[in-house]
Structure 1
Amino acid sequence: MAYLFGLPLACSGLFAAACNSLFAAELPPAPANSFSIVVIPDTQQYRGRGTKGAAENEDGKLTNTIFENWTDWIGVNLEQQRIAFVSHVGDIVDKNNREQWALARRCMDRLHGRVPYGISVGNHDMMPANGDSSLFQEVFPKSRFEQFKWYGGCFGKTSGLATSGNNANSVQLFEANGMKFVFLHLECNAPDDVLNWANATLRFHSDRRAIITTHMGLGPREKPKSAADFFDAPKGRMVWTKCHGKRGNSAQQMWDKCFKRHRNLFMICCGDQSRTQAMRQESTGQHGNTVHEVLSDYGTHGLRVMRFIPMLNLIEVRTWDPMNGVLCESTKFVSDRRQHQFTLSYEMDTAR
């Protein structure tokens, strides 16, 4: 039987009505012996001076109500939802300027020191042509995280740090319910030197269960040639890039050069494609391991709560809209509920 946050999916009659009422108000508390990883999609919803959106107040002050609400909700629900880790898929800002970075920092400060987290650098978070992410590095440098035992370090460039260095590619180590995890956050279209570091890091931590977040992953497989292609062209692991010029690796190249090689990798999270919004596929690594590739870029529709239930060997993935207190059942672009609310199989009752 399939389960929804510990409850049977086979709700019917009055019980179904009770389930719907419950979900309309709040997520049920996480059951004992489970834990959650929250994935924050692209947070580009800035409003006010210097943005594409109308100001939310008379003085035109820069705001990002969505980002603030999401991190507030996570902070309030750390215990109730048994949140063990938070991952941001990138495009933290919409415009790569200090004003938006300062606001992004204030949003993430709501979680800082309270729960382990990592951030992938998106194309909006750098100068795409050369991969310069120096503003990200000013706000989220490795020195901000070195005090935490769960911080495993970052790609260690000794020169030219503006590109790829100083926490632009990072690793986090945490434990939940007796399971040890290694979590990599890789920048958009990470170049070969970064992937070499990622390969070495995953080999060193081969005794841990591995998850990777990187900004570009799933979406239109070929580079769109028209606006319609973003919606209608065949989709899958993308073979085109936005960042780092000729040095940049596409999602497919990152899979071939790094991801598929590691037997402990079981999940890849990504964002970037707001016109795809939600997509997932199941792939097989070269060691026969199943890898769940999961895209979420919802705009205002919510974040992802991935609840791990070891006794059932299931990961219940729910798209939750904290602004409205509801599950996301459908969007304008993706009407299929199964892309927003779904369950993944993952073996957790065996030692690693």
Structure 2
Amino acid sequence: MNENPEQPELVSPGDYATVNGNPVLKVKVKDPTNDDVDVTFYQGYQYDASHLDSVKGYKNAADTEPPQSPVPAGEQAFTEDDIALVAKEDGQYLTNNSHTQFPYHRFDVTVDSSIDENDIFELNWKGKSLEGRKVSMYAWNHQTGDWELIDYRIAGEDDFELTGNVEVNAYVKDHKINVLVQDEIPSTPDEYDYTFIWMSDTQFYAESFPYIFERQTQWIAENQEEMKIKYVFHTGDLVNISTDENQWKHANQYMGVLDEHQIPYGVLAGNHDVNQVNNDYTDYYRYFGEDRFEDKPYYGGSYLNNRGHYDLISAGGNDFIMIYLGWGVTDEGIQWINDVLAAHPNRMAILNFHEYLLATGTRHPLGEKLYNEIVVPNENVVAVLSGHYHEAQTFIDEIDDNGDGTPDRTVFQMLADYQAGPEGGQGYMRLLHFDQDNHRIIVNTYSPYLDDYNYYNTDAHPEKDEFIINLDLSAAEKQVATDYFSVNVYTDTEIGKDENGESGEIAKTVWKGLTKGNFYSWYAVAEDDHTGKTVSDIWSFTKQAAGSDSDDEKDPVDTPQKPEQPSNDDKQPNPSKHPGNDDQNHFNNKHSNKKSRSSGRK
């Protein structure tokens, strides 16, 4: 049983009312166990788009998620009509769509100069998107110089809410906070295909044939525009002997060609990269750890210093997540992958391991574990790439995701490792050409070193080095639709207190010393004698500029100036997200250090 007091209910003044004289703040409080309740009233601040002097809104679409700067180029300021759509929660939306980029709305909010690190800073967005799309809310962190994820949701049929608290010291600078809400998934479609390149097991090139390694990545750079190369995979064994510094220098130099030409790529550690016997990642971390990739816009996140990682890649309106897990797979690493996939369900997932398929074309026991624990339960997995074994094989599974007896998904599991050939494989690597018009991936195998297609003889081994993968490549539409946005600040400025009230009674206090014509916000905290505590919403009113000068404590007259917010359950703030539940310790600490202010803002 929840023994906390119920959330205080507003009695008066009405939200967004205009009041005469000194406002009497009233709330109704109830306790489920009928304990007496103490109610403390505090000053708050609420900033939404209706406050034109404090909130500036912008709309745009970016090539990355999130954008790479706090104020991206090309933004358009909200028009008067735009502002009207987002100034109140009314089911009217400011909507931006894109097939080619990430649409977003950005809010630049100026807050009162009295707000400090002891105050709770809550960001709140309400709106919708296309069903199945991921919508994220970011705030610019001035300490890290980057957008930090605050909250996200996968859109369903109904409206939803993004909310979260941020620290004043990290996110507020010069009394301003920068917030961005974005549909996550970009693209750059055009009338022709795009290409992914897949490298693997370059260990002998790093050891004995560096000129082949160099030719591979130089060719990729030379053909980046012509072949529309959007991404490069490397499924491990960058070097042959992990303790040989010279081999790492070769791998670093030649993979660095992709860095120089800003070609997105991902790598993982094979057994030769980690000393095979003891899984020593020391040298791998030095050359291909998280610090090599962390500032790249496509790099989604790291597991144990790039022992695992994921990249977010979009091309032609198709949205991918490339996930890597290096040698020495653990249950913890598998759980990490599942968590990442759960957070990106609307991206096509391509998994990368060093060991998965055997040379026979069947799954290794580890591959079986990965298949059953990752591939099967995650409906967005479409392919698995691997190396290690000296062969080229393709294994196809059809998976019935909804249990109706009909396959819903085809997963292509591929092995491509040519190191057993002359000169360590002579530079053969896979080219994956995406043909969107015909919903297929054309797979070729090519050696830039020899300028030759197909390692295996196509007559003797048809569909070993070249084949077709059928895959739905329809461009996905992106949308962000804002109904309402606000910044709510719960300060520790106490207005007054009404103690030992009975459950169900009205608690009240008078707020004196306010300036005529100013806009004020407040909230209430209800506490019982057993440490139960609940925090109300923030409510606002305007002190009338002309009229009664009374300083007594009689109830003011409410003159509503703004339509009341919808009262249905779907439109109410989520109590589980409210500072009264998520930040009890913060409230306990801040309310023990009271200060007095009665400033307002016009």
Q: TM-score, normalised by structure 1?
A: 0.73
1:188 Cα deviation after fit: 2.6
Partner Cα separation in structure 2 for residue 236 and residue 125 of structure 1: 24
Q: 1:309-329: CA deviations, max 9, x gaps? A: 111011000001111112115
Q: 1:176-222: CA deviations, max 9, x gaps? A: 001111100111341111110000001101111111111111114xx
State the aligned residue count. 274
Contact persistence 1:43–1:91 (CA under 8 A): yes
Taking a change above 3 Å as real, the CA distance of residues 77 and 134 of structure 1, as seen in their structure-2 partners, is same
1:343 aligns with 2:482: no
> Which residue, 198, 201, 216 being the options, matches 1:39?
198
Contact persistence 1:261–1:285 (CA under 8 A): no
Residue correspondence of structure 1 range 1-352 to structure 2 within 5 A: 32-46=191-205, 63-97=209-243, 98-113=245-260, 114-155=262-303, 165-220=304-359, 234-239=360-365, 250-274=366-390, 277-285=391-399, 287=401, 288-298=408-418, 299-300=425-426, 302-328=428-454, 330=456, 335-349=460-474, 351=476
1:141 Cα deviation after fit: 1.5
Amino acid at match of 1:166: N
Contact persistence 2:428–2:455 (CA under 8 A): no
Partner Cα separation in structure 2 for residue 74 and residue 342 of structure 1: 21
Partner Cα separation in structure 2 for residue 44 and residue 335 of structure 1: 28
Q: Which moved more, 1:316-325 or 1:279-288?
A: 279-288
More helix by share: 1
Partner Cα separation in structure 1 for residue 399 and residue 212 of structure 2: 36
User: Which protein has greater RCO, CA pairs closer than 8 Å, 6+ apart?
Assistant: 2
SS at match of 1:32: coil
Q: 1:309-352: CA deviations, max 9, x gaps? A: 111011000001111112115269x9403101111111112648
Amino acid at match of 1:343: I
- Percent identity, please: 27
Segments of 5+ residues of structure 1 without an aligned counterpart are: 1-30, 54-62, 156-164, 221-233, 240-249
1:260 Cα deviation after fit: 1.8
Amino acid at match of 1:120: L
Partner Cα separation in structure 1 for residue 443 and residue 319 of structure 2: 20
SS at match of 1:311: coil
Taking a change above 3 Å as real, the CA distance of residues 235 and 282 of structure 1, as seen in their structure-2 partners, is closer
Contact persistence 2:316–2:475 (CA under 8 A): no
Amino acid at match of 2:394: R
Taking a change above 3 Å as real, the CA distance of residues 184 and 330 of structure 1, as seen in their structure-2 partners, is same
Partner Cα separation in structure 2 for residue 329 and residue 43 of structure 1: 15
Partner Cα separation in structure 1 for residue 428 and residue 205 of structure 2: 15
Amino acid at match of 2:393: M
1:284 Cα deviation after fit: 2.8
1:285 Cα deviation after fit: 3.8
Partner Cα separation in structure 1 for residue 323 and residue 417 of structure 2: 19
Partner Cα separation in structure 2 for residue 198 and residue 238 of structure 1: 19
Partner Cα separation in structure 1 for residue 319 and residue 200 of structure 2: 24
Partner Cα separation in structure 2 for residue 195 and residue 209 of structure 1: 18
Amino acid at match of 1:317: V
More strand by share: 2
Partner Cα separation in structure 2 for residue 271 and residue 208 of structure 1: 24
Contact persistence 1:261–1:286 (CA under 8 A): no
1:33 Cα deviation after fit: 2.7
Amino acid at match of 2:282: S
Contact persistence 1:88–1:120 (CA under 8 A): yes
Contact persistence 1:41–1:296 (CA under 8 A): yes
Q: Which moved more, 1:178-187 or 1:279-288?
A: 279-288
Contact persistence 1:154–1:167 (CA under 8 A): yes
1:301 Cα deviation after fit: 5.2
Q: 1:245-277: CA deviations, max 9, x gaps? A: xxxxx1111111212211111011111111xx2
